[in-house]
Every structure is written in structure tokens, then in C-alpha cells.
């Protein structure tokens, strides 16, 4: 089996609800291969004012926040 045949087989095995993600990834790779510059989908700019050690303590803050809540799904 060639690599292309394997790719087709795997694409056929992707669940219907995940196909848009797979197609978007393939499009990005194809654009790069053709020399086109891939476009970003989201552009954000943020300004944040917080405690000086916030970056150092970020894992601890998130861990404490998640521990105090009931499990949720996205």
C-alpha cells in the first residue's frame, strides 16, 4: 500500500463530525506546499494587568480553580 493509499484509507475512517478539522489541516498543508502563505484564522491582542508573580503561579492558580469546581465538559 502506498502512502497516498494509506492517507485515503485513513481519511475514509475519520468520523463524520471530525472531517471538517481534517480537511482544514489538509488545506493548510496543501497551501504551504504550493507556496501560498497560510492565513491565520484568529487574531487577538491582549493587555493584562496582574500580580508580578502571576506567570510563575499560573499552574497553581488553574489547579486550585479546577479542584474547586465540579467536572465539566466543553
pLDDT over 90 (residue 12): yes
DSSP state of 46: -
Cell of 30: 496543501
Confidence (pLDDT) at 44: 57
pLDDT digits (tens, 9 = 90+) for 15-58: 999 998 898 888 888 876 566 565 565 555 566 666 777 777 77
**First-to-final CA distance of the chain:** 38
Cell of 63: 489547579
Confidence (pLDDT) at 35: 62
Exposure on the CB side of residue 8, measured as CA atoms within 13 A: 5
pLDDT digits (tens, 9 = 90+) for 55-73: 777 788 888 888 876 655 5
- The answer to whether 38 and 32 have CB atoms below 8 angstroms apart is yes
DSSP state of 38: P
Amino acid at each position: 500500500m502506498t502512502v497516498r493509499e494509506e492517507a485515503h484509507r485513513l481519511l475514509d475512517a475519520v468520523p463524520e463530525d471530525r472531517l471538517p478539522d481534517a480537511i482544514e489541516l489538509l488545506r493548510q498543508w496543501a497551501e504551504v506546499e504550493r507556496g501560498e502563505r497560510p492565513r491565520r484564522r484568529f487574531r487577538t491582542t491582549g493587555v493584562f494587568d496582574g500580580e508580578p508573580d502571576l506567570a510563575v503561579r499560573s499552574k497553581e492558580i488553574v489547579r486550585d480553580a479546577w479542584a474547586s469546581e465540579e467536572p465539566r465538559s466543553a
